[in-house]
Each structure stands twice: as structure tokens, then as C-alpha cells.
Structure 1
Amino acid sequence: MQKGFLPVSKQDMIEQGIEELDFVYVIGDAYVDHPSFGHAIISRVLEAYGYRVGIISQPDWKDENSIAILGRPRLAFLISGGNMDSMVNHYYVSKKRRSADAYTPGGSMGKRPDHATVVYGNLIRKKFKDVPVIIGGIEASLRRLAHYDYWSNSLKRSILLDSQADLISYGMGERSIVEIAQALESGIDVKDICFIPGTVYRTKDISGITGGRDEQYNAILLPAYEEMVNRPERYAKSFGIQYQNTDPFTARPLVEEYPKGIYVVQNPPQKPLAMEEMDAIYDLPYMRSYHPSYEEKGGVPALAEVKFSLISNRGCFGGCSFCALTFHQGRIVQARSHASIIREAERMIKEPDFKGYIHDVGGPTANFRHPSCQKQLKCGVCQNRQCLFPKPCPNLNVDHQDYRKLLQKLRALPGVKKVFIRSGIRFDYLLADKDDSFFRELVEHHVSGQLKVAPEHISGPVLNRMGKPEKSVYDRFVKKYNRLNKELGKKQFLVPYLMSSHPGSTLKEAVALAEYLRDLGYMPEQVQDFYPTPSTISTVMYSTGIDPFTGNKVYVCRNPHEKNMQRALIQYRNPQNYDLVKEALLKAGREDLIGFGEKCLIKPQNQRKKQSGSKTVELGNQKKVKCKNKNDRVSQKRNRVIRNVHQKKVKK
């Protein structure tokens, strides 16, 4: 393997002595050769196996020639929409378009199309009709079977069909992409590559995978696409089956029928990577930067978030309903060795712009460094049971010592001033550990002034739908965190992530959350309104109004105005939210929270505004009370008194 960026132009190919590429990789992001970017990992893995890979980054989808700048690949085109789903990348939950794209040079918006994977696939098919097309990445992985699309409010077909691709490599993809490459290299027609784990293919003949005696290879027939379109409960049932077949040890092939006798078949996932395999992937010769052609545009903003961070694991057994990680990476945690992470840290320290701070050491959940129990690597995960929800499983292996030792080694490296943890701590798992040594070191060494945690809500019915622990668990965590800070002489804070309008949340639950924040004396600066992204349990509940595991109905807030009210309640102290908060309280029958008592959220309208001459006095905001006579000392003194009283209440 040669050191340097992969070719992005014909001139690069000439300079590197490449006459023909084996794979042309079309990506929706800027080309960043860093292991936090999926396209970098896949291209470097293929290179390590001797394949020549070129990159076409953010081609002009209105010009079919933009897809041909590197010529016709010998084996296949690869496509990835980017590190984020292109629709999430482009739109807020309100469906308003974002103004910037962190994965584009200079942060410019509009350099990739909506539904990028589909558009790129059709662009290739228009120019190269007979070249195999393999799609992957988060966008393809989470849309591999029929899925609800929030932006069009419709049930879309498998992305395999809409993109006109031949195969999907779903999940993380390192193993499956190599097996696909080797199959193509051996001369197997892409239409016959139907045997590789971690892939999805189309066929008109399913006789070989149904009706057999071996249950492991006997496919499950999911509800047909047209049936799910007409009957939402069938889609909910289908997703429940899919969710129970995300484990590589127990999963069976899944078959989804489409009109005209077409079937989309999902093979079981790839087996988890061994530690040595993970190490080999992260030891590949990444340039750890964006392509130099982006320098004049100011680089790629997304790199700054991860450049000085270390990935230590993948997979998550947390099981949050609104998270797609189980569907993408699986529940079995895979980890890198200390030696591999230290090697990467030492390379990072030598970079000229390293200031002594490692920004993060983690993954989907930072404090998961091993499978939740030993049987998972032999028998797989439990199909009908979660590891942490609603209570930690008795078989759960709770141990932070490996992670603690890793952090100690990183702290001891010459040139390292501080090692932070920012990728998220699962607080219920932390509390389940009877040994407090990691918790103490977390508070002492790895918090940058404030620790971000994700209780998400406090209402039991909502937490149950979210797959999150009950409120009392978070309260115990807060108490212990504060105690450790006091013992260590630290003044560090908690920043709780909260979510509004999640399925199951009515105005009643939203008001309860506002009351909790009132008693806490905290108003969050940011609130995440529930975002229905593809292939999560919460999105299925949102789209169907049904729990996919129980079949029970679930309340879903879809009305934009009610969503605004639920969000405003969390930030009820913001004067701009007054009207929405008042309306929400009246609709919820909670007029008792409008008044002057200590438990009230807002004051009555007629007491909030008073007329003084022709000027309106806003007592809720209290920036300044304007009077007709500016020299009226009595009025000025009254203003000061009102402001001081209000400020004291806010501090309390």
C-alpha cells in the first residue's frame, strides 16, 4: 500500500501508475481519509487486499459525465450517501432546509442531492448500464428493506430497487465488501452473489431459501410491500421481525415481496470482528485529513469534531428505541486493543495542530468495551430481552476496569494534557458497577466542565417507549455525580439531553417534564424534537401508531403546533414561548401552573403586561421598563426592584 490519498482524477491515476481502477467509489461527502469516515475505511480495506480504488466525491448529479471522470471500473462502482443519511443532513426535524453541511468543503450546502444514494445509483445506470453497482453506508444500511420516509410521509421500497443497484453491503461492511470483491474477481456474475452475510440482493426465485429443514437457512417471509402500504400494522409487524433478526448467530434470511414477482432478500449480518481484525482496520495508512484540494475552501468542518478523537469500540447493547445503531452495528460490542489505540494516539500527538487534548475515547456508548455477557459470542444476543431495559439483566457483565486502564495509559502519554469523554456515558450501566473507581476517575480527569448525559425524559410511559431507565435511576446518578464532584473539589455540571414529542408523549407528559425542570432550577438551551429517522423502533411507532413488539396502540404527536407546544414547555422560561406554554397548560387542564405561586410555570397574561402611557411593560422578560417620563425616579427605582426580584427567581 502506498502512502498518500487515493486517486480523485485521471491525473492522479497517471501519477500513481494506475491504468484502470478496480473500484470507483462515489461518495456524498467530501473525501476525508480518516477512520471516522466510512468511505475511508472501506477504500483502505480494499486497498489492503490489493484492489485499486478511486474516489469521486460529490459529483454533479445533473451531469452524467461527472460519474465517468475516472473511467469504467474493472469490477464495480461503490456508492455511499455519506456519514449521515442525506435527508437528515439536509433538513431539520421541522423539514426546513439546513444552511450548512459540515461534510462539504467550506460547509457549503447543496453539493449533494436529496436521497443521494438513489440519485447516484441512477446516474451510474444511465452512463454505465452493465457495471455492477454496490451500495453501502448508513443511508443504504437503514433503508435496506421497506422503510418509512419521514420527509415524504410514505413507506418507501427497499433502496436496492430505487437505486437500481445490484447489492447492498449493510452494517459496517468491511468483511462483506472484501467477500464481494473476491467473488467478482473470481468471475461470479453479480446477479449470482446471493450467499454473502451482511448483504441484500434481489431475485425472482426464492425456492432455494424457503421451505428447507434447516431453520437457520430457512428464510422468513415478511409481509409484502403493497400489503404494508395499505395496512400499517403489517409494517409494524415486519419491523418487529427484522429487529429480532439483527444478530449474526441467530438471524435468518428475510424475504420481502414486491410487485411483478420481485423479491428483496436480506442475508443474516456478518459476524462481529475480532479484536485483531478491528486493530488491523484502524492501523491502515490513513492520511488523517481531508484531500488537499479543499484547503482553499477552508477544509471540511466535520473533521474538526473527530480529528483528535479515538474510536475504541462499535456496537451497542443499550437498545434505545430512537437509535438505529442496533440495526446498523448490532448489539454485540467489538473493541480495539489498548496497543492499537495507543499507536493511533501517538500518531495523533505528532500532528502539528495537536494542542494536548484528546477530545474523545469511545464509540456509540463510551463505557461499553466488551459484550454484555459472555454467551453472546457463542449463542448471540437474546431475541426477546434487552440487556439494560427495563432493568439490567442478571447476566450482564458490568466492568469498567479495561476502559479505566486504557484511559490511564492515554493520560500518561507525553504531550497529552487532558483526555475527555464526549461520545456519551450510559449512566444506568455506570450505576450498575459496584466498583466506583471508574466513576471517580471520570469525574476527576475526563469531564470538560460539564458532562453530557441522556435521560431524554422523566415520564414513565415515555421512558418505556424510549427503552430508557426510569427517572429514579437518573436521580441516583445525579446525586452520586454531585457527591463525587464535592469530594474531589470540582465544580462540574451535568447537561441532560431531553427529547420532546417522542411517541407516547402527550401534553400531560410534556407538562410533567416542565415541572421536573422547574424543581431542578434548570432550563436547557437546546431541546431535541423527536426526529423519525429510518429503521428505528420509535420511527415505526411514529409512522404506524403501533408498538411493533406488542401490537398495542401508541399515542403519536404529529401535529406541528402540538410539537411546538411540547418543545416550548421544556423551555417555559423563555418569554418567546409564553403563548405556546399557556395554550399547552390550558389544553392539558393545568391552569394551576399559571399564577404567582412557587410551583407556577408562568404568570397570568394580564399581570405579565401592563400599560404605562403608550409603552408596554414586559414583566416576564424584565430587560427594562419604559415610562413616559424617563426622568421619573420613582419609575426607575420600581424598574430596578422588579429586575432584581426576577433575576433572583431565575437563579433559584
Structure 2
Amino acid sequence: MTRSFLPVNKKDMMNRGWEQLDFLFISGDAYVDHPSFGHAIITRLLEAEGFKVGIIAQPDWNDVENFKIMGTPRFGVLISSGNIDSMVNHYTVSKKKRSDDCYTPGGKGGKRPDRADIVYANRAREAFKNIPVILGGIEGSLRRFAHYDYWDDKVRRSILMDSKADLLIYGMGEKTILEVANLLRYGKDIKEIRNTRGTCYLTNNIGELKDYILIDSFEEVSNDKKKYALSYKVQYEEQDAISGKVIVQPHGDRFLVQNPPALHVTTEDLDRIYDLPYMRKPHHMYERLGGVPAIEEVKFSITSHRGCFGGCSFCALNFHQGRTIQSRSHQSIINEVKELVKDDDFKGYIHDVGGPTANFREASCHKQKTHGVCKNKQCLHPEACKNLIVDHRDYLKLLREIREVPGVKKVFVRSGIRYDYLLYDKSDEFFKELCKYHISGQLKVAPEHVSDRVLEKMGKPGRKTYDRFVKKYYDINKKLNKKQFLVPYLMSSHPGSDIYAAIELAEYIRDLGYNPEQVQDFYPTPGSLSTCMYYTGLDPRTMEEVYVPKTHNEKALQRALLQYRDPKNYKLVHKALTMSGRNDLIGYDKNSLIKPQRGVKPWNKP
């Protein structure tokens, strides 16, 4: 059968002989039929189950008629703001409006509203009255509880309250959407769908619930940061599919109920998902508009697995994909590679093979498979768990198999290597082949910082571990007679980082002889442990106080220190050093960060 895009208008429906859709999917991203886009996976899965599905991508939310172009769907309206939270998509960490959007035709910004899930859901309710409205995707998933919102600088209610949706599917959603869709097909009322894993709903009565955890209400966590931190800790600990319990959070006279996470997808499930008949490109209606830039990063990349047990505090992955690794089979991946080779634009290079962390392919321990992940313990932080399984053999075998596919010239690994896990491997076989075959001149890694007190809050390995990795990396490359470099990702202004920690990082950059072109200022996005620290000033794991740089001035100083060689940062760096009593770093010797400059006076407290 010839592959084709799913319907985007009435004409497409007529060409398929459809009078009515079963489900309408409204997406904040442009329609790209590729498995890196959530709307593509969900709609193709529903299609494979026999449902008639259409997509309206980036509708004009100012006119409800734009939501009606394919008529009223039989079973429901599915809504996702896109692959990125709409507020993150729209605003920089300094809350300045972005002008571009790689998920939009031509890369132009402004094609979706702020808080897109809320706007789309309310428009869908207006358009279709009694038809079920179901939220999904990253925006809904990470805003399912009362949550701190960086852009409003306050705690907002569960997104279910403001969107007025009937149901919220959190996490990756495949198992859950199929169960919900089939229940609706067989006549179940959306208000009666109350026990499906991976869903949240609102109710006036929790009398029939059993074995649930009641956390502090929206009103309480809005007014008490300690209660916010304690409630977040419960949410964080109950996100495992095996051990997680029902969580209830009151909102006024209503209750938000989160059912336990959906059970993990199996290898067979993932293989099926990635074998669906994707077009693997943006819809042709975007060609005259310049295409959709986001496809370029993923078009020739392979997703090999999901989940991450790395435990980085600033990552919300625990709240969305979870900590348990779920992998595709080698054959499924090889089949996808063979499909890529057939593409007219393929030049022989696989840009990436990995997931959230490239060198995680299996569960971190045997216990995890039957008991779930540990609630109060991380696999790698502050040190490796004694039960951690360190084994790169399967990933190495996979990369070797891909290299042997006819038409493949080079296979890169770009999705991130967890370097402490790599060092724990007693065999250097994978490390050597990584350097020999899978790097193009430089390897990007994410130490993020060098101050151990900051790294502890980040959930990252200590500085000595990174230094060991750096030495081993260059030793291996030297033996291979390769001149390859490391590009470290660095972060400023993370909770725990004061101006002295920022100076320590600047000195490290100086000693490294490195000139970072880009650094990341910590961005408090919904769902992460670090965002909880940022808002409350407390580490929810210990309830200890955490220093948080919040003012625009201090964040600017910390960021400037990471790029102290940039002339435009001179005055900020000078101010940071003088106010910290580190005038020794202003001079002409090799240890200085900047030179004295006529007319720039030392900073003095007013």
C-alpha cells in the first residue's frame, strides 16, 4: 500500500472515503510525520488500531472555525502543544520573546499561543461541546499537578483545571491512548474512565479510591514553600510504573487524581511503534513555506531506547519517560537504518544512535525489573550503586551492526554519553571504538559545572570523575593517533551556585584553555527537581536550604564569568571579581581572568 499523510482537511477525508473522524489531533507543532514527533506516533498508532484520525497543526486559535474544518470527531479531540512546552518554546531564560521556532514552517515564531494546551482545549470545547477533550504531550504531562510557573513566577493550578479537559494522559502515552481510545469505541463515557494507568482526572468525590497518597492542596502549596517541596518529593518518588501509587491533590472543592504510570513498553511494543508507516518528513503543504527546520536534526538519527537512570536534577525526564530503560531490538533499528539509506537525501551518515543518554541500553539493575526503581536512591549519584550493571556490549554490538549496513559510511553518537558510567566499565572496548569510529573531531559531554557543592545539587558526578574521564579520553585518542577534542556543556546559575562557585568554574575554563561559545543559564522548567529548589530554596530530597541565584544582575554576572574572554562581558566580570574580593584575578599573569582597564573602577557596596 502506498504511504500517505493522514488527513489535514475535508478533501483528504473524502479521498479516503471518510465522512467523519474518530479522533481529531490538534498539534502546536507543524505536522511532521516522523517518530521523533509525538503527534506522529500517537496518530499512527491509532490508525493501526483501525481508528480514523485527522490532524490540525498550528490552527489559528483566534477563530474557533479553524478547529471545525474536518467536522466533529466521533470519539474525541486529542491535544498537544508540541514537542516542547509552549512557554519554553516562546521565551528565553531571561523571559525575552523568541522570534524563531524550529517546529514551525520557515522557522517563524508566533504560530502557537502561550500556554497552548489551555487555549486549544478551551477552543475545542467551544467547537465541539460534548465531545471528550484529552490532553497529552510534554506540556500537559509536566503541568499535571499544581506547579511553579517561572513565567508567572507563581504556583499555577493543575493544567486540567484551566484547560477544562476531561482527561490528561501523561508520560509517553502509547499504551494509555490505545486503552482510552478502545474504551471510548466500546461505549465507555469519558467521565467513567477512572482506572487507566498514565492518566489524570478531576473529581468531586474520592470516596471510592483505595491505597492512595493525599498530598497538600493547591492552596497550601501556593502559600507554603515547605509544603510545596514536600508534595513535590512525593510526586517525584511515585513515578515508577511498578511501585508508584495513586496521588491525590485537592484543588478547592475538587480533587486531581493521578493514576500510577503506564506499564513500560516492551521491546516488541517499541519495535511496532517505530515500524509504523511514517512518511518521515514534514507535510508537503509546508514546502512553499520553507519546510520545517526541526526535521533536520532528526531525519537521519535513530532512537534506540527510552528512559534514563542518570538522575540529573534539572531534567524532567523522571516525570515523563521515567528512569527505566526501554529498548528497541537490533533488528528494528537495522530495518530503520535500511530505510534511511534509501532516502534520496541520505549521504551515508547516521547522525545519532541513542536516547536521553546514549550509552544506557539496559535496566540499571536486576531489582529494577521486578521491584521498580529505588524511591530514595539514585543509580549513579552521589556514587554508583553497588547493584549497578555496567555493560556496553549490547550498544557496541548494535553500532557495529549499523556500520556494516551497505550505504552507511559513518555512525555518530551525539545524544550524550554519561561519562561516569563509561568509566565504571572495566572494559575499554566501547570507549576505544567510540573514539575510533563514532566521533567527528569532537565529543560533546555535559559536566555542567566543576564545583562539587553545585554538582551535588545537579545530581552530577564530582569534578574528579570528570577529570579522570578527560584524561582517559585524550589518552585513548593519542593511542589511536587521533586529534579529537571535548566540548563541555556548562551551566550557570543553577541552585547551589553562588558567585564563588561561578568564579571557580571560570578558573577551570581558564586552565582548560577553553573558550565556550555557548553556555546555558539554568531554566526553571516545569517538573524538574531543580525547579522545585529554585522556587522553594529547599532541596526536597533532604529539606535542607539551598542558595538560589535569582536576580537578573546575579544571573548576568555568573553567565558572564563563563565567557570572561568576551570583551562585552568585561564590566560584568570585573564587578563579579571585585565584589567577591578576587582582585587577584585581575592582572597580567597567566592566572588572571581579565586585565586592568583604565576607567573601570572596582565595585564597592553602596
Normalising by structure 1, what TM-score?
0.91
Kindly provide the CA deviation profile for residues 498-553 of structure 1, in whole angstroms up to 9, marking residues without a partner as x: 00000000001000001111111112110000000001000000011111111111
Alignment partner, residue 44 of structure 2: 44
**Inter-partner Cα distance in structure 2 for 1:608 and 1:169:** 56
2:153 counterpart of 1:185: no
Alignment partner, residue 388 of structure 1: 380
Aligned pairs (5 A) from 1:39-78: 39-78=39-78
**Inter-partner Cα distance in structure 1 for 2:134 and 2:148:** 22
**Inter-partner Cα distance in structure 2 for 1:311 and 1:152:** 35
Alignment partner, residue 367 of structure 1: 359
- What is the identity, as a one-letter code, of the residue corresponding to 1:358? I
Alignment partner, residue 620 of structure 1: none
Alignment partner, residue 244 of structure 1: 237
Aligned pairs (5 A) from 1:235-634: 235-259=228-252, 261-606=253-598
Kindly provide the CA deviation profile for residues 367-406 of structure 1, in whole angstroms up to 9, marking residues without a partner as x: 0001101121211011111000010111101000000010
**Inter-partner Cα distance in structure 2 for 1:75 and 1:375:** 40
Shift of 1:2: 6.7
**Inter-partner Cα distance in structure 2 for 1:116 and 1:607:** 49
Determine if contact 2:571/2:600 at 8 Å carries over to the other structure: no
Helix, strand or coil at the partner of 1:375: helix
Aligned pairs (5 A) from 1:175-214: 175-210=175-210
Shift of 1:597: 2.3
Shift of 1:587: 1.5
**Inter-partner Cα distance in structure 2 for 1:488 and 1:458:** 28
- What is the identity, as a one-letter code, of the residue corresponding to 2:376? N
Helix, strand or coil at the partner of 1:395: coil
Alignment partner, residue 25 of structure 2: 25
Shift of 1:607: 8.9
Alignment partner, residue 650 of structure 1: none
Alignment partner, residue 93 of structure 1: 93
Alignment partner, residue 112 of structure 1: 112
**Inter-partner Cα distance in structure 2 for 1:409 and 1:598:** 48
**Inter-partner Cα distance in structure 1 for 2:390 and 2:43:** 36
Going from structure 1 to structure 2, the CA distance change for 1:68 and 1:2 (only over 3 Å counts) comes to: farther
Shift of 1:3: 2.3
Determine if contact 2:198/2:259 at 8 Å carries over to the other structure: yes
**Inter-partner Cα distance in structure 1 for 2:101 and 2:388:** 40
- What is the identity, as a one-letter code, of the residue corresponding to 2:596? P
- What is the identity, as a one-letter code, of the residue corresponding to 1:9? N
Which has the higher Rg, Structure 1 or Structure 2? 1
**Inter-partner Cα distance in structure 2 for 1:119 and 1:366:** 36
- What is the identity, as a one-letter code, of the residue corresponding to 2:325? V
Kindly provide the CA deviation profile for residues 298-325 of structure 1, in whole angstroms up to 9, marking residues without a partner as x: 1100001000000000000000000011
Shift of 1:606: 2.7
Kindly provide the CA deviation profile for residues 233-287 of structure 1, in whole angstroms up to 9, marking residues without a partner as x: 111111100000010111110001011x200100000111111111011001001
- What is the identity, as a one-letter code, of the residue corresponding to 2:401? K
Matched-pair identity in %: 60
The unaligned stretches of length 5 or more in structure 2 are: 602-606
Shift of 1:598: 2.0
Helix, strand or coil at the partner of 2:294: helix
**Inter-partner Cα distance in structure 1 for 2:6 and 2:289:** 20
Shift of 1:592: 1.4
- What is the identity, as a one-letter code, of the residue corresponding to 1:419? V
**Inter-partner Cα distance in structure 2 for 1:67 and 1:546:** 43
**Inter-partner Cα distance in structure 2 for 1:308 and 1:451:** 19
- What is the identity, as a one-letter code, of the residue corresponding to 2:187? G
**Inter-partner Cα distance in structure 1 for 2:280 and 2:267:** 22
**Inter-partner Cα distance in structure 1 for 2:429 and 2:284:** 44
**Inter-partner Cα distance in structure 2 for 1:562 and 1:125:** 44
**Inter-partner Cα distance in structure 2 for 1:597 and 1:208:** 72
Helix, strand or coil at the partner of 1:191: helix
**Inter-partner Cα distance in structure 1 for 2:228 and 2:129:** 33
* Count of residues paired in the alignment: 601
Determine if contact 2:104/2:293 at 8 Å carries over to the other structure: yes
Point out the more displaced range, 263-272 or 584-593: 584-593
Helix, strand or coil at the partner of 1:606: coil
- What is the identity, as a one-letter code, of the residue corresponding to 2:475? R
Alignment partner, residue 80 of structure 1: 80
Alignment partner, residue 127 of structure 1: 127
**Inter-partner Cα distance in structure 2 for 1:148 and 1:175:** 29
Kindly provide the CA deviation profile for residues 311-352 of structure 1, in whole angstroms up to 9, marking residues without a partner as x: 000000000000011110000000000000000000010000
Helix, strand or coil at the partner of 1:301: coil
**Inter-partner Cα distance in structure 1 for 2:233 and 2:445:** 28
Kindly provide the CA deviation profile for residues 470-497 of structure 1, in whole angstroms up to 9, marking residues without a partner as x: 0000000000000011010111110000
Alignment partner, residue 140 of structure 2: 140
**Inter-partner Cα distance in structure 1 for 2:235 and 2:344:** 47
Runs of 4+ in 1 over 2 A off after TM superposition: 605-609
Helix, strand or coil at the partner of 1:605: coil
**Inter-partner Cα distance in structure 2 for 1:209 and 1:458:** 47
Helix, strand or coil at the partner of 1:120: helix
**Inter-partner Cα distance in structure 2 for 1:588 and 1:191:** 59
**Inter-partner Cα distance in structure 2 for 1:377 and 1:273:** 13
Kindly provide the CA deviation profile for residues 414-466 of structure 1, in whole angstroms up to 9, marking residues without a partner as x: 11110001110000000010010000000000011110000000001100000
**Inter-partner Cα distance in structure 1 for 2:328 and 2:280:** 18
**Inter-partner Cα distance in structure 1 for 2:156 and 2:378:** 29
Determine if contact 2:246/2:260 at 8 Å carries over to the other structure: yes
**Inter-partner Cα distance in structure 1 for 2:514 and 2:186:** 62
**Inter-partner Cα distance in structure 1 for 2:101 and 2:52:** 29
Determine if contact 2:40/2:278 at 8 Å carries over to the other structure: yes
**Inter-partner Cα distance in structure 2 for 1:283 and 1:248:** 25
**Inter-partner Cα distance in structure 2 for 1:256 and 1:607:** 58
**Inter-partner Cα distance in structure 1 for 2:396 and 2:406:** 18
2:220 counterpart of 1:219: no
Alignment partner, residue 604 of structure 2: none
Normalising by structure 2, what TM-score?
0.98
Shift of 1:605: 2.2
Determine if contact 2:22/2:74 at 8 Å carries over to the other structure: yes
